[in-house]
Each structure stands twice: as C-alpha cells, then as structure tokens.
Amino acid sequence: MATPEPALRTRIDALITDAWVLAALAAAIRDPSLSEEHGAVLGAAGYAEHTPDGWRLHPACRTFLDGLPAPDAFAGQVAGILRQAADAADGRPAEEDDDASFIVQGESSGERMTEFLDLVAARVPEVGKVLHRPGLRFLDIGTGIGAIAATVISRAPAARAVGIDIAPRALRLAEDHLIRRGVRDRVDLRLQDVAELADTAAYDLAWLPLGVLAPHATAQALPRILAALRPGGWLISATVLAGTDQPGSVREAVLRWRMARRAITPWTPAELAARLTATGFHSVTQIATPQNAMGLVAAQA
Ligand SMILES: C[S@@+](CC[C@H](N)C(=O)[O-])C[C@H]1O[C@@H](n2cnc3c(N)ncnc32)[C@H](O)[C@@H]1O
C-alpha cells in the first residue's frame, strides 16, 4: 500500500532531523565546547546535558568516545558518510576521498588493526604466534598510507612488509606516513593490483580488506594470495558486512548500496569463508568484532 503523502512528509521531517542530530554529534566530538543552540539539539536528542557552565556531552557519550582509539577520526568518518549521502541524494557518483580524509581513514585503520590482531590471536592462537615471529614477512593489500603495515611489523622483531596499492597517490602518502612511524626501511611499497599478484611462498601473513577492493579484483586475488603465502602462512581478511543484519533490513540494504556505489566487495563473512575454502585455504575461521562493526575471517595456506 502506498504511504499517504502527509505521513511521508512527517517521516521525511524525522529523517532530516536525525541527519542533523548526527551532524551535531560529530561536530561535538571534534569540539566539545557547545553553543547554546548546538547543545540544545544534542540535549533534546538525549546526548548532552545542561550544566552551570553550559552544555556538555552526556557522561555516557564521553565514556563511549573515550573508548574509541581515535575520536577525531571517528567524527571525520561520520562527516564523510554525510557527504557521501549528499552525493547519492544529488545523483552524483561516489567521490574519491581527498588526501586529508584518506590519511585520517588510514590512520584510523592502523589504530583499529591492533584490536583486530588481538581478537584474531585470541581466537586462533597460531596467528598470535605468527604475529610475534622474528623476521615476519607481511603482505598489506591496498596499503593506502601504510598504517596497517606499520602496525603489524611493529609487533615482531625484524619484521618486514610489502605494501601494494594501485594508486600512485597512496604510495606517495605511504612514504610520508612510514617515515613518520620510523619504519620506512622495513616496508617495500609497490604499485600493484592484487588481482595480478605473482609472488610465491613469500609471506607469513597477509591482510585483505574487502572494504577497499572491487569484487572482481578480490575474486581474482584469492588464489594468488594462497600462492603468495608460505605453506602454513595466514590470511586475515575483513568484510564490511558482519553478516548479522536481518537480510532485507534497511541497514543492510543501505550498506549494500553504499558498497555498490564505491565498487566494494559486498561478501558476508560466511560467503568469504566459503570462497576461501573453495580456493584451497584451510582452518577458515570467522571471528566476530565488538558490536558486529564488521567481520573478520582468518584462513591458513
Ligand atoms: C583506503 S586505503 C586502505 C587503508 C587500509 N589498508 C585499510 O585496510 O583500511 C585502500 C587502498 O586500496 C587500494 N586498492 C584498491 N583496489 C586495489 C587493488 N585491486 N589492488 C591493490 N590496491 C587496491 C586503493 O588504491 C587505496 O589506496
């Protein structure tokens, strides 16, 4: 049955209000000094409280923010998503991130990687051992600014990484980031499409983030990554979908539309696990992340 027009108007109003509440929250994460009007928005929505010194974020929000590895980067991500939504609303194709957002996003991935590695190591102790193996060889696929490579090799003595990326801009930014992290001499940066990876038995560990790769590239990459790992080496892969949403839910449908607009591999952890097994990986293990923010799958060559 078609939605009656006045009801739709009320719902659109509510959706617009929610979008502005989200914007107010992101702005407050960046700068907690809230104007009267800004604070009133967050107060009415239940995210701020009025004190004798003016508005401030509610303690429960502060606790949440203090638990984030990089609250500023989180606010930046929310702002980026609002910009992407505006592009979609205007019928514009998804835009590439500018350098500043690319760096913020890369830094936040690097910080989050520590948490992911701990999660995987707790669930698959063999991966934990690999992560501390002296001389570890790590393959960082879609290296971006190289933050994940830097995080991984910082955990093992004499570890080295190869970071591959199809974008010259990424490799230029990675140079700077790796110099700043003091590990430039331990990471080889290569302009390369993972779909054409030709290394054999070269790595103990590889990282494959589906959230940055096109579906055809990911599909072509799987057998190449298997060949590039040393026998017994491990792949850790991340999916955007955690596989926990109700199929057909609005949240999952929105995520799939966002992925399609950016040509991102939309596989669930279960789909990825099945493809890894079919490729010849074994000990394929799905690992949940807190709040099911995304999915992790570990697999052994
Ligand atoms: C945003 S960065 C990722 C940063 C970080 N590694 C992460 O996991 O979040 C994604 C990078 O993947 C690169 N990329 C996309 N498709 C690729 C492919 N087929 N092979 C190698 N790199 C690719 C992009 O150029 C981009 O620089």
Residue 212 beta carbon below 6 angstroms from any ligand 1 atom: yes
3-state helix, strand, coil in the chain (%, to 5): 55, 20, 25
Nearest-CA neighbor of 294 among 138, 141, 116, 111?
116
- Read off the tokens for 161: 């990484």
Residue 62's φ and ψ, nearest 5 degrees, are: -60, -40
Task: Read off the pLDDT of residues 80-119 as tens digits, 9 standing for 90 and up.
Answer: 899 999 999 999 999 888 898 888 889 888 988 999 999 9
pLDDT of 3:
60
278 CA from centroid of ligand 1 (Å) = 24
C-alpha span between 106 and 101 (Å, rounded): 8
Identify the band that residue 262 occupies on the pLDDT scale cut at 50, 70 and 90.
very high
Task: Read off the pLDDT of residues 14-61 as tens digits, 9 standing for 90 and up.
Answer: 999 999 999 999 999 888 899 999 999 999 999 999 999 999 999 998
Cβ neighbors of 62 (< 8 A, separation 6 or more) are none
C-alpha span between 166 and 188 (Å, rounded): 14
Q: How big is the CA angle at 269 (ends 264 and 275), to the nearest 5 degrees?
A: 85
Identify the band that residue 4 occupies on the pLDDT scale cut at 50, 70 and 90.
low
Q: CATH 3.40.50.150 spans which residues of the chain?
A: 106-300
144 CA from centroid of ligand 1 (Å) = 5
Residue 97 beta carbon below 6 angstroms from any ligand 1 atom: no
Which residue is closest in CA terms to ligand 1's atom 24? 142
214 CA from centroid of ligand 1 (Å) = 10
Identify the band that residue 2 occupies on the pLDDT scale cut at 50, 70 and 90.
low
pLDDT of 185:
97
Q: Identify the CATH assignment for 106-300 out of 3.40.50.150, 3.30.365.10, 3.40.50.300, 3.40.50.1860.
A: 3.40.50.150
